[in-house]
A and B are shown apart, each in its own frame.
Chain A
Amino acid sequence: MPVSEYFYPKRIPYAPQVPASSLTPVKTSFVKVSDGLTDEDCICFTVGRELFYFFYKSFKQEPAQPVEYLDKRTYKGVAPTCHDINQFSASADSVRVAVGFIAGQVQIIDVRTKESLQIMNEDRSVEKSRVTCVKWFPNSENILLAAHISGFMYTYDITQPCANFMPQYHSQPYKSGNGYSIYTLKTKNTTISSPNSNGSTATQRNPVYKWVMSTDGSGVNAFEFSPCDKFVAVVTQSGYLRIIDHSTFDEYGCMKSYFGGLLTCSWSPDGRYVVTGGEDDLVTVWSFCDKCVIARGSGHRSWVSEVAFDPYCCTIPSDADMKAYYGIPSVSDIVDAQNPHQFGQDSDKSNSMDKVADAADDRYESDTKTSHTDSLNDVGIHLKLNGDMPTSLANSAIRRLRTYSNVSKLSRLSIGVEGSAPSLSYRFGSVGQDAQLCLWELDENALFFLQRSKSVMAPTSQHCDKEEEQNSSKEQAPSNFNFPAGDVDVNGLSGLDYSGDGSSYHNQVNNYHHRTSLDSSAVLVPSSRSSSVPHSINASVNQKERKHSSKLDSSNSLSAIRKFATIGTHDRSQKEAKEHKRNLSLPHFGFKSSANHTSSNTTSKIGFLRKPQPPKVMKTFGTNICPCLDDTPMLVPLICKKVSQGRLTCLDFKDDCVVTTCQDGYIQLWKRPEMPHNVNSPTASTSSLKEQIKPSGTTV
């Protein structure tokens, strides 16, 4: 399969003879630079010890011509491992790039003026281990975050010097979370111990924060700031995804890989979902609203090295429509409901960062509205006027089947209304060490699978017990999340989970740092419980129903929807038996299985109200943090294609193509395959090709 166009600087595959552990990943990143008249896409590309910066169009349009570099650097002694362009401050005159190195340093360069501005951690006194990921804080010119393979992350303020001596941190963490803690510098001591600097700059301010992200020394592999700029998603070698509010350092939620380390993460354009990829060869979709894994995807045959949402192929209704038709609140709603502003706390330390966060909230509001919704809004209104009239046969079939199994309040919402709902789908891609590029579609079926099955199986006893265990475990996230009381009806989203959270919440109040919405929690618990418990009195009944539902699901996905991405239907009929056996043989599921077998209302209730004991071992498997394989839908890729010889390291989506980077030093451009059902996608219509990725130009 030929590639569309390719580029590599030396015209030979990059294959140095060094130990694999000292090999640095080949990375690309993009920036749009405006000189006032035209926007120019530029690429920054690191391979081996070299860094290149050039116009994207220069190899896109004339592949035969040698690429003209705007900047080219060759490092001696150290090799760059990662880099990030400051998108916020990038202009025709200045493009700042932070480059992380294998020995722990972070250099700030300007690839436009070809200046080398500053080096943080130059003498490695702050950190000696490899930088795995470096990113500028959103909307910040000067503050960046660097993650290391040691499990530490550092916030640097590049307006402040990074002194060349061992930083002294306060012995008490500035903030302690579940499995992570944040430390600040002892500023007084360092002032004294820096004899060379004069009085005015004596105070050492860097690193501003030291983030200790693991207790067992396992490394941070990557992180990504949320589109709302408020959160950072951090993935670690220990397999955790943590969503942390980077101004307060509160953990919003967390997730664990099926097994092995997580290597990459990406936020959906609206911030409602985070996709991760890792050493379990899976992609995992985590819902920001529900704080749980809602789907996994199987298609890669080795580790998944990068995932990215395709913003050009996501169909996201407006916030209002999302809420009305799908019961999904916006990210800002959730944040507002959960966390009344607490920015005052660290104002002394990081004024600039607070401003950034505040400004970010405002910007996000307008951003989402303008970028995604305007045209879709019209569609939504139009369909609404049509009322119950099905827009198409397939559509109505999908909706009907989707709604039949909802026994809770969701059904009221969904019947009739849903047929007119604006379409909703997310597209993301992944690349892996198997040299495969996979494209995935997260459509309504996947998004609501869990919601649907939860409302049917309603495992009050087992889920709530798990929730309690999970919440009482010290390593766990306080996944306690409250909608405003008014939202519960519209929402209906896995109310069971919230009730479980709510009940454990009362036992766990002291463990949480900023739980301000106790009241709404108290309101929420009875309402959701009353709606869900009656359906779950008998576990065997539930299982029958569930089995029934999954059968219909499969027929649904086979006949009604002719989409590429369908939910992989596991063999549910055998699963039931399997689950019982499994529960019996697993010691730490003992409680769950006993409740399951007696399956009486009383045990459920007892389980529900049981005071959680501090568990000895952390239990995540089988919970929302890391559900069993059969408890979430398994997505199959729309497209799964081996596109290179070497393993792939980077994936980007441009308006006209998909860009992959491989460890051999190639950058490849791919035309998007046409997705017949996705007519809203702006790029799909430009291509008349079939479902395979096809070349768009000539090769060198």
Chain B
Amino acid sequence: MRIKKLPMILALHLKRFKYCDTLNKYTKLTYRVVFPFELRLFNTTDDASNPERLYDLIAVVVHCGSGPYRGHYVSIVKSHGMWLLFDDDTVEKLEPSGMEDFYGVTADKNSESGYILFYQSKE
């Protein structure tokens, strides 16, 4: 896949589920997927305008729980220069180094894993 028009807001949906034939249902994929705070796209078309646009991570939707049919969502949002973790009615401050906890753990079927990433163009 190549991208011709780079959007202002880039939403990346990680496919964290797959159909498992033996179980006859979808299962969650908890693979570790690292995502940087900054991003440029490599897979742009040759005629894309501004193909090296720089994006900043601004928000992450996180899925907690063992499978695609259950669990809980929390979100992490950058606000006023700091990262906030929204979990229902509680809001906590998150150190940037704490983002690592949401990359997912391949071995841990219950891990809290980043599911949708929102990047915003810097310009």
Contact = CB atoms under 8 A, between A and B. Distances in A.
Interface of A: 15, 17, 19-21, 23, 130, 149, 218-219, 237, 239, 258-261, 279-280, 298, 302-303, 433, 571, 574-575, 577-578, 581-582, 585-588, 621, 628-629, 647
A23 B101 CA distance: 10
Given A258-B40, A578-B46, A433 B34 contact: yes
B39 interface: yes
Contacts of A433: 32, 34
Contact of A260 (B36, B48, B96, B107): B36
Given A239-B38, A258-B40, A259-B54, A19 B101 contact: yes
21 contacts: A15-B107, A19-B101, A21-B97, A149-B97, A219-B97, A239-B38, A259-B36, A259-B38, A259-B54, A279-B34, A279-B37, A571-B46, A577-B47, A578-B46, A578-B51, A582-B49, A582-B50, A585-B49, A585-B50, A588-B123, A621-B54
A303 B35 CA distance: 9
B52 interface: yes
Interface of B: 32, 34, 36-40, 42, 46-52, 54, 96-101, 103, 105, 107-108, 123
Q: Is the interface of B mostly helix, strand, loop or mixed?
A: loop
A642 to B, nearest CB: 14
B101 A587 contact: no
A285 B72 CA distance: 44
A433 B31 CA distance: 12
A574 B47 contact: yes
Nearest to B103: A20
A349 to B, nearest CB: 32
B103 to A, nearest CB: 6
Contacts of B39: 259-260
Contacts of A628: 52
A582 B123 contact: no
Nearest to A589: B50
A219 B100 CA distance: 14
B108 A17 contact: yes
Contacts of A298: 42
A19 B48 CA distance: 40
Given A585-B50, A586-B123, A628-B52, A218 B96 contact: yes
Given A574-B47, A586-B123, A21 B34 contact: no
A587 B54 CA distance: 13
User: Sorted from nearest, which 5 A-B pairs have the closest CB atoms?
Assistant: A260-B36, A279-B36, A259-B38, A574-B46, A21-B100
Given A219-B97, A259-B36, A586 B108 contact: no
